[in-house]
Amino acid sequence: MKALTRALDALFQAITIVLLLSLAVLVVYAVASRKLGSPIPWYDEVAVVLLAWLTFYGAGLAALRRAHLGFTGLLYALPLPVRTSLFVFAEAVVFTFLAVMAWYGWDVLKVMRYDALITLPWVPVALVQSVIPIGCGLFILAHAISLPGAWVVLRAGQDPERLHIEDAIAEAERERDRAS
């Protein structure tokens, strides 16, 4: 399982980095082109697509690392039976929502199979929209892989955010002591 987690983490990181760099290069190129008096007509459409893809694949990376925003302080303050019940409910909501979104994302691909981007007619809209079912599927996989670890931490009553903060403070104190 750890090998799968590492491989999926590396895949998400690679995809996210490529998309982020592509978007950054595109924005710089578009600004320079506009300043030189020859704006590129397809910039807006492609930038929106890259941002959507970055959002979906970045969300998968955050899911794998259990790094999405949450209310862990509140959750971990609750008694164990309530905490576990809320955890199970929240996980069921997440998986259900993503499954429904992937299902309907797949339906969108069927509807859009003959359409193309306006400024780049050789790019099919189905390719652009494929991020919905693929991203949701990868998010489900990432969330499922991270679920057992999250369950163990939840049952132990260790707030991961609090532990992270304590680790960061300890590291900062070690650095301060080394510097002095």
For the segment 135-146, the average pLDDT, to the nearest whole number, is 94
Q: Is 76 helix (H, G, I), strand (E, B) or coil?
A: helix
Q: What is the pTM of this model?
A: 0.83
Q: Which of 136, 152, 135, 145 minimizes the C-alpha distance to 7?
A: 145
Per DSSP, 123 falls in state S
For the segment 84-108, the average pLDDT, to the nearest whole number, is 95
Averaged pLDDT of the chain: 92
Q: Is the pLDDT of residue 1 over 80?
A: no
Q: Is 111 helix (H, G, I), strand (E, B) or coil?
A: helix
Q: Is the pLDDT of residue 25 over 80?
A: yes
Contacts of residues 151-156 at CB distance under 8 Å and 24 or more positions apart, as own/partner, are: 151/87, 154/75, 154/83, 154/84, 154/87, 155/80, 155/84
Find residue 124's DSSP bridge partners.
116
Assign 113 a pLDDT band (cuts: 50, 70, 90).
Answer: confident
- Per cent of the chain over pLDDT 70 is 100
